[in-house]
Amino acid sequence: MWQSEALQHAIESKPKESCGLLIIKKGKEVYFPCQNLATNPDNQFILSPEDWIEAEDQGEITAVVHSHPLTSARPSEADRVACEKSNLKWWIVQPDSNDWQYCEPCGYKAPLIGRKWVWGVNDCWSLCRDWYAEEFGIELKDWVRPNDPDEFVKNPMFNDCFEETGFRELLPTEDLRYGDLLLMSISSSGLNHIGVYLGQQTVLHHLQNRLSSRDLLDEWLLKCTGKRIRYAKKN
């Protein structure tokens, strides 16, 4: 059974999260172990793209499998968000108890306020994308992040990518409107953070390792703001 192989992989990977794929190979379900490329593998996994391609070459991918070595097997908020994005069933194992749980795409969306920060899944750009989809029905382009968020701090993408996503920079004479985005520099020489202006001097954003929040656009955040942008297709 593939579960025994996945469990053994999870045990051998402790205290790091193991990850792999379930594929159909010659009519049978087979576990395909993958590398975890996350920089904090005790609490997150980033599946190797090369392993994904190799698994696809061997059979049809039907599920994502990973472990929760430090917590229960219950799907986390980030698991459910990533499950929706993958459009695959997710199996989760707790290696010490051999408890298995799973989740599958069902339309789940993380709350805009109070979501836990997980790089590449629930981060500042994910929050902006989700807000635009919910508020305006606009699907903004997602960007592939580097595996290490520190690399993003060194080489942030926002300054180069906002135009191709449909935004234009505001002129100095233009006032902020509801839904404008603020590009900020947080402990970085480049623009590495982004938030949504909600009017009345408030901003919705998601700082690293904090819960997403609606905050006052105070003096500190204004000082951090390097560009103000507006979706070009909106009036």
Determine which one of 66, 68, 193, 206 is catalytic: 193
Determine which one of 9, 68, 205, 206 is catalytic: 205
CA gap 17, 155 in Å, rounded: 27
Let me know if 224 is a catalytic residue: no
Determine which one of 124, 128, 206, 224 is catalytic: 124
Comparing CA positions, the residue from 199, 205, 206 lying closest to residue 179 is 199
Let me know if 9 is a catalytic residue: no
- Which amino acid, one-letter code, is at 196? V
CA gap 84, 103 in Å, rounded: 9
- Which amino acid, one-letter code, is at 134? E
CA gap 58, 51 in Å, rounded: 11
Let me know if 205 is a catalytic residue: yes
Cite the active site residues.
124, 193, 205
